[in-house]
């Protein structure tokens, strides 16, 4: 399946700590390219200016991880981690809606939500792609979509822990800025981890869930 083309803002937002974290995370969670590696000093500098926090520390550590790896290795690990494993899918509505018609309706409503906030994105982007959701938070200060999909974020983290991926640092950073899970949330995450998202195969062309480029 084809993922959204990289479409990151050329600057790091600096209006608030969460906006800096969200913009930096959006960049770091995208497919690694030469453009991303060239921006790493800018990302590190923006993070260094923020108050010390778990999120800033995790993202700073991940920047150092990227700096110490060759680009082909980073790209290969990214594909193996996110494009070839449904458990690590970065399309957030997949965890609640799965490959069902309901997800199509959810994506349309999400696009409308963005447009009402004055946020436009490329036609190749799906609005539930986590880097896009993070960029929306950085641009607007509205983090409600992250809170709404916190169970999906926990599931992504579990998948990253399972394969011992350094990207776990990024999910730990995001989750440290959001309300902690309730016992009900934990039960829901464990249930979804066991059963997987909803499926609806008859008469439906599946939506992208993070397959190969």
- Structural domain total, the chain: 1
21-55 residue pLDDT tens: 999 999 999 999 999 999 999 999 999 999 999 99
The pLDDT confidence band at residue 99, using thresholds 50, 70 and 90, is confident
Residue 200, domain member (yes or no): no
**Quick one: pLDDT at residue 125?**
75
Residue 66, domain member (yes or no): yes
Domain that holds residue 160: 17-195
Chain mean pLDDT for the chain: 81
Residue 204, domain member (yes or no): no
52-78 residue pLDDT tens: 999 999 999 999 999 989 999 999 999
Residue 203, domain member (yes or no): no
Residue 205, domain member (yes or no): no
Residue 12, domain member (yes or no): no
**pTM of the predicted model, to two decimals?**
0.80
Question: Which candidate, 166, 188, 151, places its Cα nearest to that of 59?
Answer: 166
141-169 residue pLDDT tens: 999 999 988 988 988 998 999 999 999 99
- Stronger pLDDT, 173 or 211, i.e. the higher one: 173
Query: What string of H, E and C letters represents the secondary structure of the chain?
Result: CCCCCCCCCCCCCCCCHHHHHHHHHHHHCCCCCHHHHHHHHHHHHHHHCCCCCHHHHHHHHHHHHHHCCCHHHHHHHHHHHHHCCHHHCCECHHHHHCECHHHHHHHHHHHHHHHHCCCCCCCCCCCCEHHHHHHHHHHHCCCHHHHHCHHHHHHHHHHHHHCCCCCHHHHHHHHHCCCCCCHHHHHHHHHHHHHCCCECCCCCCCCCCCCCC
């Amino acid at each position: 399946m084809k993922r959204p083309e990289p479409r990151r803002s050329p600057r790091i937002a600096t209006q608030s700590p969460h906006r800096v974290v969200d913009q930096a995370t959006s960049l770091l969670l995208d497919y690694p390219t030469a453009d991303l590696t060239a921006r790493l000093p800018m990302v590190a500098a923006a993070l260094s200016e923020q108050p010390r926090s778990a999120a800033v520390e995790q993202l700073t550590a991940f920047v150092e991880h990227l700096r110490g790896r060759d680009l082909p290795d980073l790209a290969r690990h990214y594909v193996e981690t996110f494009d070839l494993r449904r458990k690590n899918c970065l399309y957030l509505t997949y965890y609640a809606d799965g490959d069902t018609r309901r997800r199509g309706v959810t994506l349309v409503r999400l696009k409308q939500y963005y447009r009402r906030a004055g946020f436009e994105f490329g036609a190749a982007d799906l609005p539930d792609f986590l880097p896009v959701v993070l960029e929306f938070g950085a641009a607007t200060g509205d983090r409600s979509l992250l809170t709404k999909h916190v169970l999906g974020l926990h599931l992504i983290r579990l998948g990253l822990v399972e394969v011992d991926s350094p990207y776990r640092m990024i999910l730990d950073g995001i989750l440290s800025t959001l309300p902690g899970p309730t016992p009900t949330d934990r039960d829901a995450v464990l249930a979804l981890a066991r059963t997987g998202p909803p499926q609806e195969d008859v008469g439906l062309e599946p939506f992208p869930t993070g397959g190969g480029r």
